[in-house]
Amino acid sequence: MKIAVVLGTRPEIIKMSPVIKELERRKASFFILHTGQHYSYYLDMVFFKQLSLPKPRYRLDAGSGSHAEETARMLVGIEAALVKEKPDVVLVEGDTNSVFAGALAAAKLGIRVGHVEAGLRSYDRGMPEEINRVLTDHIADYLYAPTPEARKILLGEGIREAKILVTGNTIVDAVYQNRKLAEQEEREPLPFPDGGYLLLTLHRQENVDHWERLANILSGVNRVSRELSLPVVFPVHPRARKRLNEFGLDTGNIHTIEPVDFLQFLRLESGAKLIMTDSGGVQEEACILGIPAVTLRDNTERPETVAVGANILAGAQPEKILEMTKLMLGRKNEWTNPFGDGRAAERIIDSLLEA
């Protein structure tokens, strides 16, 4: 069996890294196609080097643009590579334009599709990611659900049970495999001790592309910092940086830093007292690491984190952000990780090679 791994963004590289390593361990026939959706060094190639992954055989450099432009460029490039390579299966992970383009190009060519992290739903069609994940699930032949809850969602949408396998989430594999490395990793010291700062991440379109919502979030985070006397560390995503400059918004007392690599970010997460984020992956990572999270969104496709008490939704209003942060800081970090035992990649490759 020949397997194509299609990816294009930082989260996909990280979450697919255990799958790629498992393919290598078994000496499977595979190749990586990178769409280039993320193209800055700190959101892209640093992860291949740091996680000891083989270089992509194909790199499309699709870059940024409207959703139509991005997806169209990816479809053309992915189709050409798949026609040349003739893989038996295309593996994609998550909910980006790269994921949908990879799945659609494969399905149109009659190539089977495996969707890692299938069955996540925010039920908010205003999120481009929601459309990508729904369409990819209904194209896929193999749906690797991270939790029993995700499996129930897929069954409820009429997807046949035989297509679905609950594997756990590959982010658990990645965190377990790399946490020790992260602790040993040299990094520029922060002016704050471990447990003495809050961590902030922002990148989603619905938050950073709207002046009022972004301004409200920054106001709320600054208010949290003042009232709780805790500094906030903010690695600024390129998309957020661009909008901050366009809107002329000041981050106030928030301690901004450049984007960091995965091991450095794991270290930042592990040392935080609490994480404020709009990232689905960071919600998972915080839950796995035992760090409370406040999600700066009105919904989440990771409801398991909320159900176990590791996470809470705060939206974008300053008062709510402060209220929810205080609530989470008052909780004991005693939840059980709902995302599996760190063997998701093994189950995924078992299922593929036995197909």
pLDDT digits (tens, 9 = 90+) for 72-131: 999 999 999 999 999 999 999 999 999 999 999 999 999 999 999 999 999 999 899 999
Which two tokens mark 116?
A: 């890692």
> Do residue 248 and residue 216 come from a single domain?
yes
3-class state of residue 76 by DSSP: helix
d(CA 335, CA 355): 36
> Do residue 134 and residue 199 come from a single domain?
no
> Do residue 106 and residue 14 come from a single domain?
yes
Instruction: Tell me, yes or no, whether 176 lies in a domain.
Output: no
> Do residue 89 and residue 203 come from a single domain?
no
- Residue whose entry in the numeric block shows the structure tokens 């992956």: 281
Between residues 113 and 10, the one the model is more confident about? 113
Instruction: Tell me, yes or no, whether 177 lies in a domain.
Output: no
Residue 45 — very low, low, confident or very high, per pLDDT cuts 50/70/90? confident
Which residues constitute the domain of residue 33?
2-169+340-354
Residue 190 — very low, low, confident or very high, per pLDDT cuts 50/70/90? confident
CATH of the domain at 20: 3.40.50.2000
> Do residue 140 and residue 41 come from a single domain?
yes
Q: What is the pLDDT of residue 135?
A: 98
> Do residue 224 and residue 260 come from a single domain?
yes
Residue 191, pLDDT > 80, answer: yes
Give, in degrees to the nearest 5, the angle at Cα 145 between 141 and 149: 130
Q: What average pLDDT does range 307-326 have in this prediction?
A: 98
Q: What average pLDDT does range 22-38 have in this prediction?
A: 93
Q: What is the pLDDT of residue 310?
A: 98
Instruction: Tell me, yes or no, whether 179 lies in a domain.
Output: no
Contact (Cβ atoms closer than 8 angstroms) between residue 294 and residue 202: no
Instruction: Tell me, yes or no, whether 178 lies in a domain.
Output: no
Which of 36, 180, 172 has the alpha carbon at shortest distance from 97?
36
Instruction: Tell me, yes or no, whether 182 lies in a domain.
Output: no
> Do residue 7 and residue 104 come from a single domain?
yes
pLDDT digits (tens, 9 = 90+) for 137-168: 999 999 999 999 999 999 999 999 999 999 99
Give, in degrees to the nearest 5, the angle at Cα 27 between 21 and 33: 60
Residue 40, pLDDT > 90, answer: no
Number of structural domains (the chain) is: 2
Residue 67, pLDDT > 90, answer: no
Which of 149, 122, 141 has the alpha carbon at shortest distance from 133?
122
> Do residue 75 and residue 135 come from a single domain?
yes
**pTM of the prediction?**
0.92
Q: Which residues are tagged catalytic?
A: 203
Q: What is the pLDDT of residue 38?
A: 63
Q: What is the pLDDT of residue 42?
A: 55
Between residues 65 and 31, the one the model is more confident about? 31
Instruction: Tell me, yes or no, whether 133 lies in a domain.
Output: yes
Residue 64 — very low, low, confident or very high, per pLDDT cuts 50/70/90? confident
d(CA 202, CA 243): 11
Instruction: Tell me, yes or no, whether 162 lies in a domain.
Output: yes
Instruction: Tell me, yes or no, whether 262 lies in a domain.
Output: yes
Among residues of the chain, what percentage have pLDDT more than 90?
A: 84
> Do residue 129 and residue 258 come from a single domain?
no
Q: What is the pLDDT of residue 283?
A: 97
Q: What average pLDDT does range 306-321 have in this prediction?
A: 98
Q: What is the pLDDT of residue 168?
A: 98
> Do residue 161 and residue 195 come from a single domain?
no
262 CB-near residues (< 8 Å, 6+ apart): 10, 14, 46, 47, 50, 51, 174, 178, 182
Residue 46 — very low, low, confident or very high, per pLDDT cuts 50/70/90? confident
Q: What average pLDDT does range 293-322 have in this prediction?
A: 97
Dihedral angle computed from the Cα positions of residues 278, 280, 285 and 288, in that order, rounded to the nearest 10 degrees: 120
Residue 7, pLDDT > 90, answer: yes
Q: What average pLDDT does range 250-265 have in this prediction?
A: 92
Q: What is the mean pLDDT of the chain?
A: 94
Q: What is the pLDDT of residue 248?
A: 96
Phi, then psi, of 320 in degrees rounded to 5: -70, -40
> What is the DSSP-derived secondary structure letter of residue 43?
G
Q: What is the pLDDT of residue 169?
A: 98
> Do residue 215 and residue 98 come from a single domain?
no
Contact (Cβ atoms closer than 8 angstroms) between residue 91 and residue 7: no
Residue 232 — very low, low, confident or very high, per pLDDT cuts 50/70/90? very high
> Do residue 201 and residue 224 come from a single domain?
yes
Residue 180, pLDDT > 90, answer: no
Between residues 46 and 111, the one the model is more confident about? 111
3-class state of residue 31 by DSSP: strand
Residue 244, pLDDT > 90, answer: yes
